[in-house]
Structure 1
Amino acid sequence: MPGHVTMNDVLIAQLPPLILRSALRALVSQGKASQGIFVDHVQRRLRASPPSFIPPAELFDSKAPKAPQFLASVRCMFSSRIAVESLPYFSYFFTCITQARLLWASESELETMLIKACGDVVQAIQALKESHPSRTEELRSKLLELQQALLTCDAYSLEKELSRPFTRARVQVDDAYSWFFPGTLSLYNPDYQARSQISERSYLHTSAEAISYTSLGILEVPRLFNGLWQLSSPAWGSATSKQQNAALGQLLEAGLLAADMADHYGDAELVYGLFRATLPPPIANKVIAATKWCVFRQPEVEITRQFVMEAVQERSRRLGGRIELLQFHWYDYTNKDYLFILSELVRISRSHSELVSNIGLCNFDAVHTEEACLHILSEIGEVGLVSNQVQYSLVDSRPIIRLVDVCHKYQLKILTYGSLCGGFISEKWLNAEAPDIYNEALQLTPSQRKYFDMITTWASWSDFQILLQKLKSIADKYQVDLTNVATRWVLDRPAVAAVIIGTRLGVSEHVESNLKVFSLKLDNIDTNSLDKLVLKGAAKVYETLGDCGNEYR
């Protein structure tokens, strides 16, 4: 009896907000059914009682500003997939900035809020794309209105000689406008004032000489990739375009030339594309853009050669040039359309190398990796695939069971993610108690909630502590960081080409620490001791989750 009064009603009414949110996170983690109920309920409530448009004076009141509350309400809208309706609220917020004649200092609370608001626009536009709204004049009008508000803010900040945090939002809105209404004039024309300054900088620093490289198709790639998945959520923090470019420049100077991203990682492709456009051609031609085309549900249009070509062109457009590696993910192996798509992708890489030069897989298991290779071989006469990106770490070594043999057979390399378990494999968690992953006071990221489950699938938290202690002892032996040992172990596994290390662009970087992995060589005693601790859990993870990537299907 859903409406019947029970003790649960009393419990819900009395719980402190922190515990209530923790309980709600636990409930929605149970699967699609509970997630759907939650989102549908929030949508109905927001549509019945939408947020109010707060006057500018109240939004930015010096003593009690209501802007944080206003933005929180708008986040609820696009996060519950009411993305179209959220756009006028953003337009109003940015219009109020100039109406209130706001002034902000660098690194002030106000500037931080504006940076977060622009990050919210990035996420809202991504949610808008994923909701597949009708391409109406109303949508066009809302996008134009938002872009005009951002343009006015940008001009205002330039006039007042303030920092300009609006670039990311402007670029993302422009990209959405071009995507929804192809053939229209661009709303945003980026300036490359930093080009001359960047050209004078010493890229490819001498430290790059110590970096290990490997072949990947026709590419020579560093064995560490910069992972940009953290741009997919504000949970990892927000930064301005200027801060992100500076961070990418630092990575490039260190010799870390390759970045991994995806079509659904917020504005990652746009961020990297604009950065690459600021580089002098000799340097720009050396960086490696690895992105993904991820199909999470049945496409709404007929799958043809033109459909595949348009997908490649879209990735290339967002990156502002060639895709060095395009990795393909498919939602359901029972639908064999993906075999046709992969064959077409390989053909395009041969006929249109200015768009894409190498094709790989993402989260394919061993059986379907082999199926793809055999199909392309029969269609084209060569395998044509160069890699498969899968989760691989000390606590998830499923690739050794079947995938490695298939990769050797067809000469594919493995790119790995999750190799540090979202940050759990670090000294921070050494001798720490098992976290309550739904307790927001701990400020765990979405990745950490996922990888905590991976750790406890592999073994117990106490077993994980034994692993961290072993990693620490080996790290002390070589005078490196604990994370370096974990990364080195993965790099030394058969068929592994590179490890993807996540970076919070403009928020925090660990460049110097990550580079230590290249000077680290584990001896047989170290490797065998780690193998003894972790490999026994591979079968358990395989039996629980299935082969690589099965958790995404």
Structure 2
Amino acid sequence: MEMDMEMDMGMEYRRLGGSGLRVPALSFGAGTFGGSGPLFSAWGDTGPAEARRLVDICLDAGITLFDTADVYSDGASEEVLGAAVRGRRDRVLLSTKTGLPMGDGPWDAGTSRSRLITACEDALRRLGTDHIDLFQLHAYDAATPAEEVLATLDDLVRAGKVRYTGVSNFSGWQVMKHLAVAERYGRPRHVAQQVYYSLLGRDYEWELMPLAAEEGLGALVWSPLGWGRLTGRIGRGRPLPAGSRLHDTAGYGPPVEDEHLYRVTDALEEIAAETGRAVPQIALNWLLARPTVASVIIGARNEEQLRQNLGAVGWTLSPEHTARLDAAGARTAPYPYFPYERQEGFARLSPPMTGRPAPAASR
């Protein structure tokens, strides 16, 4: 995947997959906006006034991409984000997702033609806009033919209601199924995949990353701090702080073994002491240098958290520090991926990806 880059206001901009759209290296996730329900109320309950202040800070720093989803606080996140960007829609890119259940009814979940059209119209209304810059499928819908999904997305693009499409939480074969259908019928190809990726969770590297490089998909990284574990507040010999959201939300996210967590936090804390950078800044900066990563989605419940996360850009980890973090977060890949790490013959046929990727052939 080609990773053309530009700089503006100190922020790096990258092409999103094989598209012509340029996105900031850091983007903002609005999962803390709205704050309703057992999961999202624990994340945060940012209202319109504070949301507008956070958007102000983002725009001043060059963050122009804001990501949300209809399922976040049952639509309240989209509503608060829409209010926060009102009057400056031409300065921002809006990304939202649909497909996960919004209710118990038969038409409240999935990506059927009916659901996608309704979900798009609802998102446009809540966001207060006439188009969505990136419309993503939040999960794979096994009950709806891919041909129906791609045809409906094509209609939304042709109608000007959606500019680009992507997927989130898809497996490799599910992504390829959609890309194959798009190619067969001349539908718009997905340009992005939103994925869980962090020093604690590197499964993305085994299949989805090589797929992204080969097929021209940009990765939008969610939960880059390992579901809140890499904030610098958790470490070896330090229990979970009383106010940590993990007390309420750990069961919703990817599990992490304690010893694996502490190997990573040990390395982060050592490098933080050597560089003078904060632990989350180092964890985010490591991700920014990974192949196929177009943008890392940061979230913040308040201005302090946001400003700290903004310090992840404008500098680069040394090769020695990068190697130490690579080693601390490494896990043995499952079959059929592990032979590429262990056996020279496999590695010769398909070398592991490191650093910036080579440009992919344009389509």
Shift of 1:275: 1.9
| Bigger relative contact order, structure 1 or 2 (CA pairs below 8 A, ≥6 apart) | 2
Superposition RMSD on alpha carbons, in Å?
Answer: 2.9
Structure 1 residues 488 and 317: CA distance shift in structure 2, 3 A: same
Contact preservation (8 Å) 1:254, 1:511: no
Residue 373 (structure 1) aligns with: 179
1:214 equivalent to 2:14? Answer yes
The reply on whether 1:485 has 2:282 as its aligned counterpart is yes
Residue by residue, what CA displacement relative to the aligned partner does 1:110-152 show, whole Å, maximum 9, x if unpaired? xxxxxxxxxxxxxxxxxxxxxxxxxxxxxxxxxxxxxxxxxxx
Matches within 5 A, 1:279-294: 279=88, 284-294=89-99
Cα distance, 1:318 vs. partner? 1.4
Q: 2:51 touches 2:81 (CA, 8 Å); kept in 1?
A: no
Look up the match of 2:361.
none
Q: 1:272 to 1:455 in 2, by over 3 A?
A: same
The change in CA–CA distance for 1:509 and 1:344 in structure 2 (over 3 A counts) is: farther
Q: For residues 442 and 344 of structure 1, do their structure 2 counterparts lie closer, same or farther at Cα, with a shift above 3 Å needed?
A: closer
1:228 has 2:37 as partner? no
> Gaps spanning 5+ residues in structure 2: where?
1-6, 339-363
Give, in whole Å, the separation in 2 of the partners of 1:487 and 1:208. 19
Mapped partners of 1:304, 1:363: distance in 2? 18
Q: Whole-Å Cα distance in 1 between the matches of residues 105 and 171 of structure 2?
A: 20
CA contact 2:228–2:246 (8 Å) conserved in 1: no
* Alignment map for 1:65-214 (pairs within 5 Å): 209-214=9-14
The aligned residue for residue 216 of structure 2 is 411
**TM-score (normalised: structure 2):** 0.78
Equivalenced residue count is: 318
Which of 121, 125, 142 does residue 313 from structure 1 map onto? 121
Query: Which residue in 2 is equivalent to 1:525?
Result: 320
Rounded to whole Å, the distance in 1 between the matches of 2:261 and 2:116 is: 43
> What residue number does 2:167 align with?
361
Three-state SS of the structure 1 residue aligned to 2:9 is helix
Q: CA deviation at 1:411?
A: 0.6
- Distance in 1 (alpha carbons) for counterparts of 2:165 and 2:334: 30
Alpha-carbon distance change, 406 to 215 in structure 1, aligned in 2, over 3 angstroms? same
| Secondary structure of residue in 2 paired with 1:469 | helix
Distance across 1 between alignment mates of 2:212 and 2:46? 38
Give the C-alpha shift of residue 446 in structure 1: 3.9
The percentage of aligned residue pairs carrying the same residue is 25
Q: Secondary structure at the match of 1:431?
A: coil
Q: Which residue of 1 aligns with 2:255?
A: 454
Amino acid at match of 1:325: L
Q: Which SS does the other structure have where 2:96 is aligned?
A: strand
1:245-256 alignment, distance < 5 Å: 245-256=52-63
Following the alignment from structure 2 to structure 1, what is the Cα–Cα distance between the partners of residues 310 and 244? 29
2:137 and 2:245 mapped to 1: Cα distance? 32
Label 1:432 to 1:313 Cα distance change in 2 as closer, same or farther (>3 A): same
Cα deviation for residue 246 of structure 1 reads 1.9
Amino acid at match of 1:358: Y
Deviation of 1:409 (Å) = 2.1
Match of 1:363, as an amino acid? N
Residues 337 and 420 of structure 1: CA distance in aligned 2, closer, same or farther (over 3 Å) = same
1:373 and 1:418, CA in 2 relative to 1: closer, same or farther beyond 3 A? Answer: same
Secondary structure of 1:325's partner? strand
Query: What secondary structure does 2:179 align onto?
Result: helix
CA-CA distance at 1:291 after TM superposition: 0.5
- Counterpart amino acid of 2:328? L
CA 1:414–1:236: 2 relative to 1, 3 Å: closer
Q: Which runs of 5+ in 1 are unaligned?
A: 1-206, 544-553
Q: 1:234 to 1:311 in 2, by over 3 A?
A: closer
| SS in structure 2 of the partner of residue 385 of structure 1 | coil
Other-structure match for 2:199: 394
Q: Which residue of 1 aligns with 2:343?
A: none
Cα pair distance change 1:314/1:516, threshold 3 Å: same
TM-score normalised to structure 1 length? 0.53
Report the alpha carbon displacement of residue 405 of structure 1 after superposing the two structures with TM.
Answer: 1.8
3-state SS, counterpart of residue 57 of structure 2: helix
Higher Cα Rg, which structure: 1
**1:329, CA displacement in angstroms?**
2.4
Check if 1:327 corresponds to 2:136: yes
- Match for 1:228: what amino acid? A
Question: SS in structure 2 opposite 1:474?
Answer: helix
2 CA distance for matches of 1:447 and 1:298?
26
Relative to structure 1, the CA distance from residue 339 to residue 524 in structure 2 (aligned partners, 3 Å threshold; closer, same or farther) is farther
Distance in 2 between the 1:370 and 1:274 partners? Answer: 36
Residue identity matched to 1:372: H
How far off its partner does 1:538 sit?
4.8
Counterpart selection for 1:345 from 125, 128, 153: 153
Q: Report the structure, 1 or 2, having the larger strand content.
A: 2
Letter in 2 for 1:215: R
CA change 1:527–1:239 in 2 (3 A) is closer
Contact residue 383 and residue 410 of structure 1 kept, 8 A: no
Q: SS at the partner of 1:389? A: strand
Pair 1:366–1:239, CA change in 2 (3 A): closer
Asked if 1:243 corresponds to 2:50, the answer is: yes
* CA distance, structure 1, for counterparts of residue 117 and residue 244 of structure 2: 45
Match of 2:56, as an amino acid? G
Counterparts of residues 271-286 of structure 1 (less than 5 Å): 271-279=80-88, 284-286=89-91
Whole-angstrom CA distance in 2 between matches of 1:431 and 1:467: 10
Cα 1:464–1:371 shift into 2, 3 Å? same
Whole-angstrom CA distance in 2 between matches of 1:303 and 1:523: 44
One-letter amino acid matched to 1:517: A
Rounded Cα–Cα distance in structure 1 between residues aligned with 2:152 and 2:290: 31
